[in-house]
């Protein structure tokens, strides 16, 4: 029996999203005026409404992109127009636990990117943020929830601080949407980035969403006038249609899914601890996403554990699998000053819309075997 516990990497396609992708595959170009073009346009615009309703935004504020990485690269621009006036930011401030897409800094020069410190749970240090902003106009990017260990960031407070200091706040909301209730107005960010495949939509679609129309960002991709001039290039109609359907499903079922996965995750963690009382669960004392657990056991390397799980049909990942299965402690764990032996052992299990009790049973059955085999191997090596 297979068990998929890697929703933070990609959440399997929801049936409604699959239907929408297939139905939208044979349309024309949304910019064409004929019937096939208008059919394609209808898919894109209805997805825009679904995505906007999902996060509590105005559909006009949604710019479709190829995914969150592109959305973030578009958002992190040192030049913007705010209320019709050009603005240049002195610095880009990003938290130490951001995804590499944010740490890369978009169009900012490397010497303009500064790191906001975090505590040992990976939660951003608000005093540190205040000190970094002091007297400068900054663009600040702090994620709503972390992809590796699930810590939830105090983004509402960050938004108030940044705006109070005359800055602009971009929030990587990729992991929070669909996992917990989310509303753009409540979190107060000026800009958010989200991704279709993290919520059960297809890969290859994402969005940059603005709180209002005060901000204009120079496009990253120039050419045609698609997406109201924010992003040139023929829209990926099928992926966008699937994204819309997934967002709609997540809006309708998200609250129930969140309660369901929280109960599964708690059982999973209790089972992990029962087998390995010396386990460390990262960010255990912080507010966390209900679907994520990141754990490390002394002497068990994450990549060895992930392979052992995989051989038994259980999909989990080592630290952050978002960065193409790269092995090695992540920058985020380094920023949290996690001890190297813990960071090397960090295994992430993440649940989602189609997770079941049977997935947890299977994971725990395999965990007991993997733990016994790897601790025995370690004991034999040491002897
Ligand atoms: N931000 C976070 C927090 C993520 O987990 C990911 C996942 O890869 C991304 C950004 C990038 O998203 P995408 O795969 O849509 O480019």
DSSP for 110-142, please give it.
GGGEEEEPB-TTS-B-HHHHHHHHTTS-EEEE-
Is residue 148 in contact with ligand 1, taking CB distance under 6 Å? no
Catalytic residue annotation: 322
Is residue 330 in contact with ligand 1, taking CB distance under 6 Å? no
CB atoms near residue 255 (< 10 Å): 12
Do residues 259 and 365 both lie within one domain? yes
Per residue in 294-313, pLDDT tens?
A: 999 988 999 999 999 999 99
Do residues 117 and 221 both lie within one domain? yes
Residue 324 has pLDDT above 60, yes or no: no
* Helical (H) or strand (E) element with 156: helix 155-164
Q: Considering 231, 249, 267, which residue would you say is the last residue of a domain? A: 249
Residue 326 has pLDDT above 80, yes or no: no
Alpha-carbon span 161 to 134, nearest angstrom? 11
Do residues 344 and 262 both lie within one domain? yes
Residue 328: which pLDDT band, with cuts at 50, 70 and 90?
A: low
For 115, the domain range is 15-249
Rg, Å, the chain Cα set: 21
Do residues 332 and 224 both lie within one domain? no
Average pLDDT of the residues in 370-374: 90
CATH number at residue 230: 3.40.640.10
Is residue 300 in contact with ligand 1, taking CB distance under 6 Å? no
Do residues 44 and 121 both lie within one domain? yes
| Whole-number pLDDT of residue 323 | 45
Do residues 200 and 314 both lie within one domain? no
278 CA distance to ligand 1 middle (Å): 31
| Whole-number pLDDT of residue 321 | 45
- Determine what percent of the chain is predicted with pLDDT higher than 70: 97
Is residue 321 in contact with ligand 1, taking CB distance under 6 Å? no
Q: Considering 249, 272, 290, which residue would you say is the last residue of a domain? A: 249
Is residue 73 in contact with ligand 1, taking CB distance under 6 Å? no
Do residues 178 and 287 both lie within one domain? no
Per residue in 47-73, pLDDT tens?
A: 999 999 999 999 999 999 999 999 999
Alpha-carbon span 352 to 198, nearest angstrom? 9
Per residue in 310-323, pLDDT tens?
A: 999 999 999 744 44
Per residue in 87-120, pLDDT tens?
A: 999 999 999 999 999 999 999 999 999 999 999 9
- Determine what percent of the chain is predicted with pLDDT higher than 90: 88
Closest ligand 1 atom to Cα of 143: 3
145 CA distance to ligand 1 middle (Å): 12
Do residues 103 and 29 both lie within one domain? yes
Residue 269 has pLDDT above 60, yes or no: yes
Q: Which residue has the higher pLDDT, 285 or 377?
A: 285
| Average pLDDT of the residues of the chain | 94
Strand partners, 124: 118
CATH number at residue 302: 3.90.1150.10
Residue 330: which pLDDT band, with cuts at 50, 70 and 90?
A: confident
Q: Considering 216, 249, 282, which residue would you say is the last residue of a domain? A: 249
Do residues 264 and 335 both lie within one domain? yes
333 CA distance to ligand 1 middle (Å): 17
Backbone angles phi, psi at 101, to 5 degrees: -60, -35
Pocket test for ligand 1, best of 6, 10, 99 (most atoms within 8 A of CB): 99
DSSP for 186-253, please give it.
HHT-SEEEEEGGGTTS-SS-EEEEESSTTEE---SS-SS-TGGGTS-S---HHHHHHHHHHHHHHHHH
Per residue in 194-247, pLDDT tens?
A: 999 999 999 999 999 999 889 999 999 999 999 999 999 999 999 999 999 999
The number of folded domains in the chain is 2
Do residues 146 and 94 both lie within one domain? yes
| Whole-number pLDDT of residue 52 | 98
Three-state SS for 161? Answer: helix
Whose C-alpha lies nearest to ligand 1, atom 7?
322
Q: Are 208 and 71 in contact (CB under 8 A)?
A: yes
Is residue 150 in contact with ligand 1, taking CB distance under 6 Å? no
Backbone angles phi, psi at 300, to 5 degrees: -110, 115
């Amino acid at each position: 029996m297979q068990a998929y516990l890697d929703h933070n990497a990609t959440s399997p396609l929801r049936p409604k999203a699959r239907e929408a992708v297939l139905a939208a595959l044979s349309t024309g170009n949304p910019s064409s005026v004929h019937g096939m073009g208008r059919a394609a346009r209808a898919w894109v615009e209805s997805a825009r409404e679904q995505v906007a309703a999902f996060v509590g935004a105005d559909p006009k504020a949604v710019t479709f992109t190829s995914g969150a990485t592109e959305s973030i690269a578009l958002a992190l621009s040192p030049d913007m127009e705010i209320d019709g006036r050009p603005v240049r930011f002195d610095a880009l401030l990003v938290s130490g636990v951001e995804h590499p897409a944010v740490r890369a800094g978009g169009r900012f020069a490397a010497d303009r990117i500064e790191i906001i410190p975090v505590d040992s749970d990976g939660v951003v240090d608000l005093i540190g943020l205040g000190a970094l902003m002091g007297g400068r106009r900054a663009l600040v990017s702090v994620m709503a929830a972390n992809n590796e260990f699930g810590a939830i960031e105090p983004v509402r407070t960050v938004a108030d601080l940044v705006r109070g200091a005359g800055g602009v706040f971009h929030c990587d909301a990729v992991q929070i949407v669909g996992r917990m209730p989310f509303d753009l107005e409540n979190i107060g960010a000026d800009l958010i980035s989200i991704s279709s495949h993290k919520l059960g939509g297809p890969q290859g679609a994402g969005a940059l969403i603005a709180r209002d129309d005060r901000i204009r960002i120079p496009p990253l991709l120039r050419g045609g006038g698609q997406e109201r001039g924010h992003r040139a290039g023929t829209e990926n109609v099928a992926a966008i249609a699937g994204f819309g359907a997934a967002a709609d499903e997540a809006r309708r079922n998200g609250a129930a899914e969140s309660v369901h996965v929280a109960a599964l995750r708690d059982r999973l963690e209790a089972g992990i601890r029962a087998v390995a009382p010396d386990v460390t669960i990262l960010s255990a004392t912080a507010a966390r996403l209900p679907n994520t657990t990141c754990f490390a056991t002394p002497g068990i390397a994450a990549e060895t554990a992930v392979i052992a799980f995989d051989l038994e049909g259980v999909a989990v990942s080592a630290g952050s699998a978002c960065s193409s299965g790269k092995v090695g402690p992540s920058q985020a764990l380094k920023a949290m000053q996690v001890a190297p032996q813990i960071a090397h052992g960090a295994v992430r299990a993440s649940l989602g819309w189609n997770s079941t009790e049977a997935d947890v049973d299977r994971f725990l059955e395999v965990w007991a075997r993997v733990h016994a085999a790897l601790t025995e191997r370690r004991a034999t090596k040491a002897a």
